[in-house]
Chains A and B, each alone.
Chain A
Amino acid sequence: MSKNRYFIRKMVLAAAMVSVLQLTACSAIPEKQVGELPALHSVESVVSEDVTYAIDVYDPFEGFNRGMYRFNAGFDHYIFLPVVGAYESVMPGFAEKGVSNFFNNLFEITNLTNSILQLKPKATIATTERIIVNTTIGVVGLFDVATTMGIYEHEEDFGQTLGHYGVGSGPFIVLPILGPSNLRDTTGTIVDSVTMASIDPLNLDEHSERELVFYLLNAIDDRHTTAFRYYDSGSPFEYELIRKLYTEKRKLDIKR
């Protein structure tokens, strides 16, 4: 299947990037430097092994992750955002909204499969209704009629399904371009992509020329609807804060 081939190509590319970065990335553990003098509030005098710190998240690949975080910030700044900016200046607002709705409707399939897997009848019914309403009355998903009717989206993915059945998050991972994740959620992302590819609702399998447009537009739309900007927090601890927030937010989503 060409769709899976495409997916595999993406993964190989990601893996290649990962290994390149790994070569350049060194350890994140601070090392004592020449001429260094202890700080007034030194880590040794304040941080205690007996205390659990809220900011801690299991992150054995921190050096790599921080490198990837920087890479993503650069990619965002020099490539992703300029492209999205061009998209926004060309597209009228209602068309942007239509594109967002279209992709949202398409990826309801992921919500549906995972609502079923978690045996959540309410979410399963709502999601099914949403797909039917938005695909028909909403003109192949261009309009989100369901939400105006009070049928709300239930975001579910395979990472949440794994979490629902008790799988722990595993180590924190910053994925190329996609950003913060962890071992469980990365597995989830892969499973969801493969499921999507095997269902192949747009028949990309037989129309490989559509494939590139599909993925590009999807990526642009995703970034367009995401308000986050790297380093806008103005915090020297942005990496730590994002890592914690990601972890907490996923816990909330799983419990829902």
Chain B
Amino acid sequence: MKRVITLFCTLVLLILNTVSANDGSTQIGVYDYPIDNPLAATVIGTPKEQVASLPKDIPRQAMKLVVFPDREIKKFIPNKALNYTLVGQKKAAPLIFSIAGTGASHKSAKMRLLEKAFFQAGFHVVSLPSPTYANFIVTASTTQVPGHIVQDSADIYRVMALIKEQIKDRVQITDYNLVGYSLGGAQAAFVAKLDEEQGAFDFKKALMINPPVNLFNSVSILDRMLEENIPGGLNNFNAFFDEMMVEFSHHYSESENVDFNDDFLYRIYENKQQEVDLSRVAATVGMSFRISSSNMIFTSDVMTNGGYILPKNHELGKIESTTNYFKVSSRVSFTDYYNERFLPFFMARNQGMTSDKLLDDLSLKSIAGYLRTSDKIAVVHNEDDVILAPGEIDFFREVFQSRAHIYPKGGHCGNMAYKDNITYMVNHFEKQGVNHE
């Protein structure tokens, strides 16, 4: 069992990872994050000895919230409540709402990292799963067709308001802040904007970590990473996977003290830098994303009876095999989902909605005016983030100016745990003032 678990953690690690010019944005001086290749950085993350010093144990409380009491519960995914984490200070303190990246849970490694960093700095932290995570789709999404950033952010906002009420007797909150990484980062911006209109929180600060500019561009890049890096196409995936496992096995047998963890991957990278096959790393990133998107698409399909992958009007039993549906889901790209399921769904809901209009709505560009003038929001990003299309990084420089903090390397969220990054993130919120007595 223990072995399965360690292996499982490796997979989770991979899934969660899926995924310097200067013109007004902050100049980064010396930056010694050790992994130069953006794809490798995305998969490996930050080597142990370079991770910021953080507490080992913090007082996490597993919380449950029923968002829609009348929602019917499905046999196959019998979730009633949304799960989230509360990390509370003993005394009055500001709170940070933290939003997970694509397909990630409130307990993902990156969420835990943020909890530790902000708890250590004196904040309460509430960690929320991504609206693209199954438990959120089932219990807290209005449409249960995830990916619409405006809609999903409104769902997050509703959840936050309910949580505010639920935790008011547990923690004393002085004011509210927002943070999110990857897709969660982009959602944080939309949530902040929504709050300007609705005013339930009056957020003091918000921080976006490695957000996409345009969701659609980013998922297309990730789709292609899988599809274009398997020799012979997806039908040959099994052969490709076996080959990769053979090589992995070779490294695994060679090393004396082995345990699967991020450092194991880093050591392979460090020792065999010349030999690392980058198309393989790209395929791994693509595969992790594909698993996340399959989870999302299939969960949505089961919940909405969408007839997309599961036959329409078919109720999945508790022990019914889903292996064939996995095979089908893993062949459906996010782009397919967008065209075949997502677009028709939102066109049917909104008269006059067009594909172009919808694509614009899903982009940070649609709220660029707000981001330009809103001093409370900052962005931290990497020049070489693999989910950005060429030139997209300049959007952040241009719009955020001095509030854009762009590192020369780190890939997609690979450097989040690096000591400089943690210091910057914590400082961004601390300026607003945790009261250190």
Binding site for B on A (CB under 8 A): 25-26, 28-30, 32-43, 46-48, 51-56, 62-63, 66-67, 70, 147, 152, 155, 178-180, 222, 225-228, 232-237, 239-242, 245-246, 248-253, 255-256
Cβ of B324: which chain A residues have Cβ within 8 Å of it? 30, 43, 47
Chain A residues near B238: list those with CB within 8 A. Answer: 51-54
Contact partner of B1 (CB less than 8 A), chosen from A222, A251, A253, is A222
* Stretch binding the partner chain, chosen from B129-137, B147-155, B163-171, B419-427: B129-137
Contacts A29-B321, A66-B321; A236 near B299 (Cβ below 8 A): yes
B8 touches A248 (CB 8 A): no
**Inter-subunit contact A51/B7 (CB<8 Å):** no
Roughly how many angstroms separate A234 CA and B104 CA in the complex, as a whole number?
Answer: 8
Size bin of chain B's contact surface:
35 or more
**Beta-carbon contact of B314 and A227 below 8 Å:** no
**Chain B residues positioned under 8 Å from A62 (CB to CB):** 321, 323
Contact B1 A228 (CB under 8 A): yes
For residue A69, which residue of chain B has the nearest CB?
B319
Contact with A along B227-246 (1 / 0, CB 8 A): 00000000101110110010
Known contacts A41-B331, A240-B323; 18 further A-B pairs (Cβ under 8 A) = A32-B311, A33-B313, A36-B311, A36-B312, A39-B310, A40-B308, A42-B311, A43-B325, A52-B239, A53-B237, A54-B242, A66-B318, A67-B318, A152-B257, A155-B3, A228-B1, A245-B7, A256-B253
Which residues on A sit within 8 Å (CB–CB) of B1? 178-180, 222, 226, 228
Given contacts A234-B135, A242-B8, contact A252 B328 (CB under 8 A): no
CB-CB nearest 4 A-B residue pairs: A228-B5, A66-B319, A28-B321, A37-B312
Give the contact stretch, choosing among B187-195, B290-298, B379-387, B409-417.
B290-298
Question: Which of A36, A39, A67, A253 is in CB contact (< 8 Å) with B319?
Answer: A67
B180 contacts the other chain (Cβ, under 8 Å)?
A: no
**How far is it, in angstroms, between the C-alpha of A248 and the C-alpha of B248 when the chains are bound?**
11
B7 in contact with A248 (CB, 8 Å): yes
Min Cβ gap A162→B in Å is 16
Q: Whose C-beta in chain B lies nearest to the C-beta of A243?
A: B323
Residues of B within 8 A of A250 (CB): 3
- Write the chain B residue with the least CB distance to A248: B245
**With A240-B323, A242-B4 in contact, is A40–B307 under 8 Å at CB?**
yes
Cα(A241)–Cα(B103), bound, Å: 15
Q: Chain A residues with Cβ under 8 A from B103's Cβ?
A: 234
Whole-angstrom CA separation of A250 from B312 in the bound complex: 38
**CB<8 Å pairs between A and B, sample of 30:** A28-B320, A36-B312, A37-B313, A42-B311, A43-B324, A46-B327, A46-B328, A46-B331, A52-B239, A53-B237, A53-B238, A54-B238, A54-B241, A66-B319, A66-B321, A70-B318, A155-B3, A222-B2, A226-B1, A227-B6, A235-B134, A236-B298, A236-B299, A237-B295, A237-B325, A237-B326, A240-B323, A245-B8, A248-B245, A249-B6
Closest Cβ of chain B to A54, distance in Å, is: 4
B256→A152 contact, CB < 8 A: yes
A232 in contact with B107 (CB, 8 Å): yes
Q: Is B235 a contact partner of A51 (Cβ separation < 8 A)?
A: yes
Once bound together, how far apart are the Cα atoms of A42 and B309, in whole Å? Answer: 6
Residues on A with C-beta less than 8 A from B308 are 39-41
CA distance A105 to B312 in the complex (A): 55
**Chain B contacts of A256 at CB under 8 A?**
249, 252-253
* CB of B141 closer than 8 Å to a CB of A: no
**Assembly CA distance A133 to B416 (angstroms):** 40
Which chain B residues lie closer than 8 Å to A226 at the CB level? Answer: 1-2, 5
Nearest chain A CB to B33's CB is how many angstroms away? 27
Asked, given contacts A39-B307, A70-B318, A240-B323, whether A249 binds B7 with beta carbons under 8 Å apart, the answer is yes
Contacting residues, chain B, for A180 (C-beta < 8 A):
1, 4
Which chain B residues lie closer than 8 Å to A233 at the CB level?
A: 8, 12, 15
Q: Does B340 contact A (CB under 8 A)?
A: yes
How far apart are B365's CB and chain A's nearest CB, in angstroms?
Answer: 30
By a CB distance below 8 angstroms, the chain A residues around B325 are 43, 237
Shortest C-beta distance, A214 to chain B (Å), equals: 18
For residue B13, give the distance in angstroms from its CB to the closest CB of chain A: 12
B113 CB within 8 Å of chain A = no
Closest-by-CB residue of B relative to A21 is B319
Residues of A within 8 A of B8 (CB): 228, 233, 242, 245
**A236-B322 contact in complex given A36-B314, A252-B248, C-beta closer than 8 Å:** yes
Partner of B328, one of A30, A41, A245: A41
Interface centre among B1, B7, B11, B135, by most chain A C-beta atoms within 10 angstroms, is: B1
Please give me the residue from chain A that is nearest to B248 by CB atom.
Answer: A252
Indicate if the CB atoms of A70 and B319 lie closer than 8 Å: yes
Query: Distance in Å from the Cβ of B17 to the closest Cβ of chain A?
Result: 15
Q: Taking the nearest CB of chain A, how far is it from the CB of B262, in angstroms? A: 14
